[in-house]
């Protein structure tokens, strides 16, 4: 399937949503939906903005790029929208008047929920983009991890991680850096000016072509103490258990039950209540955060980023559910230390602690 086939298939999906909602058009404004519909274009000039720098008006028999005269020249030159069957509606930046239709729906309203459910299951080209992004995100976080030095501030570690994502054509939507005692104190260690003594946790959620993958890596200056290696083995075992519990036809709630059981089995009962455990991924770092009893059906083609954690330790990667199993798209390279976790008859490879 090429890119225009992908766009055409998604256009048909939106036609069905229009019919179900009695709408005669859909205006896409949110960056994640524009990236989804266009096969990977990024309208995020201001990454903090809920609306993209241009929009897409989808009609039953047509699709328009809605752009002002700032964006239009670049879009013509670099995005090849015309080859994908798009026309343009352009306005001056100081007098923007987006087109309307009598029964237009927008993704800034209730229709977002309909579109989100379509984003959840990735088509073949999206899966390939996710795999490529996962490899680059793993390389970026490993690059930053290997550069860690005693005395680095958390800001300095974060800047290297952000730069490593940028060098690979992505942007880090989330960068968390915790060092030493802060890893045990906070589940979301926002980077500070604190200087590293021995132990660092690096977390990234990297976006490219609209898709987002997440990963966490741990670094220790010199040999890590035995108790830290033991904690890593426990959390890796819990992570592997929920990965294996993520099977088509089950619900997120079913997988969550197995996750809670794994915490209990590894003498960490109750730790899951101190931080969300992740869930569905894709065009957001978490398309849906799993909770007990969640009825969402798990399907082949969905991406998941689970992130179980205990005091002072965390395990996180992004996986893609495929026929017969799953792929860890952000899997640690052969150059990064790993631990092997046996769950039943399966052995799952999880990131270990990089000792520098």
- 151-172 pLDDT, tens digit per residue, is 999 999 999 999 999 999 999 9
**Residue-level pLDDT at 218:** 98
Contact between 173 and 207 (Cβ < 8 Å) = yes
pLDDT given at position 30 = 96
SS3 316: coil
**From residue 281, how far is each of 72, 275, 332 by CA, in Å?**
31, 17, 19
How far apart CA 282 and CA 270 sit, in angstroms, is 28
Distances (CA, A) of 203 to 231, 263, 336: 18, 22, 16
- State residue 98's pLDDT score: 82
99 vs 322, which has greater pLDDT? 322
pLDDT of residue 22: 96
Encode 82-99: b = buried (16+ Cβ within 10 Å), e = exposed.
eebebeeebeeeeeeebe
- Binned at pLDDT 50, 70 and 90, residue 71 comes out as very high
Cα distance between residue 143 and residue 212, in whole Å = 19
Which segments of the chain does DSSP mark as H helices, in order?
Answer: 3-21, 31-38, 72-78, 111-119, 124-146, 154-167, 181-185, 226-245, 252-265
Instruction: Looking at the structure, give the CATH architecture of the domain made up of residues 124-355.
Output: Alpha-Beta Complex (3.90)
- Taking each continuous run of H as one helix and of E as one strand, the counts in the chain are 9, 18
pLDDT tens digits along 143-152: 999 999 999 9
Distances (CA, A) of 229 to 18, 313, 353: 54, 10, 8
* From-to residues of CATH 3.90.230.10 in the chain: 124-355
User: What's the rounded Cα separation, in Å, for the pair 249 and 323?
Assistant: 12
**Quick one: tokens of 172?**
């880090």
Measured CA distances, 239 to 52, 159, 234, 312, 339 (Å):
35, 28, 9, 15, 12
- Beta strands 338-343; 278-281: pairing state: unpaired
Mean residue pLDDT of the chain comes to 96
Range(s) within the chain of domains with CATH label 3.40.350: 3-119
User: If you average pLDDT over residues 274-294, what whole number do you get?
Assistant: 97
User: In the numeric block, which tokens belong to residue 267?
Assistant: 């003498």
pLDDT for position 343: 84
CATH number 1.25.40 given to 3-119: no
User: Closest by alpha carbon to 116, among 104, 127, 108?
Assistant: 108
pLDDT digits (tens, 9 = 90+) for 174-232: 999 999 999 999 999 999 999 999 999 999 999 999 999 999 999 999 999 999 999 99
């Amino acid at each position: 399937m090429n890119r225009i086939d992908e766009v055409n298939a998604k256009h048909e999906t939106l036609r069905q949503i229009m019919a179900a909602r009695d709408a005669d058009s859909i205006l896409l404004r949110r960056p994640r939906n524009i990236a989804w519909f266009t096969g990977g274009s990024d309208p995020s000039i201001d990454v903090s903005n809920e609306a993209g720098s241009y929009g897409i008006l989808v009609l039953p028999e047509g699709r328009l790029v809605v752009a002002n005269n700032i964006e239009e020249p670049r879009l013509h030159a670099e995005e090849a929208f015309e080859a994908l069957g798009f026309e343009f509606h352009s306005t001056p930046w100081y007098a923007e008047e987006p087109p309307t239709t009598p029964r237009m729906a927008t993704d800034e309203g209730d229709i977002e929920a309909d579109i989100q459910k379509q984003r959840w299951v990735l088509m073949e080209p999206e899966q390939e983009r996710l795999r490529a992004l996962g490899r680059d995100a793993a390389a970026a976080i490993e690059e930053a991890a290997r550069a860690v030095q005693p005395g680095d501030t958390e800001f300095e570690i974060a800047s290297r991680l952000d730069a490593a994502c940028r060098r690979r054509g992505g942007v880090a939507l989330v960068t968390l850096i915790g060092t030493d005692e802060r890893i045990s104190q906070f589940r979301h260690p926002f980077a500070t000016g604190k200087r590293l003594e021995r132990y660092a946790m690096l977390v990234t959620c990297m976006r490219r072509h609209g898709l987002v993958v997440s990963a966490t890596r741990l670094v220790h200056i010199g040999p890590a103490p035995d108790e830290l290696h033991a904690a890593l083995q426990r959390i890796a075992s819990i992570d592997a258990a929920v990965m294996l519990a993520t099977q088509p036809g089950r619900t997120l709630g079913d997988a969550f039950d197995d996750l809670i059981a794994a915490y209990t089995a590894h003498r960490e009962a109750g730790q899951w209540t101190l931080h969300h455990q992740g869930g569905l991924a894709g065009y957001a770092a978490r398309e849906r955060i799993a909770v007990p009893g969640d009825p969402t059906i798990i399907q082949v083609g969905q991406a998941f980023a689970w992130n179980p954690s205990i005091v002072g330790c965390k395990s996180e990667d992004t996986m893609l559910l495929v026929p017969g199993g799953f792929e860890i798209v952000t899997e640690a390279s052969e150059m990064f230390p790993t631990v092997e976790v046996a769950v039943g008859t399966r052995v799952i490879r999880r990131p270990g602690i990089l000792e520098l």
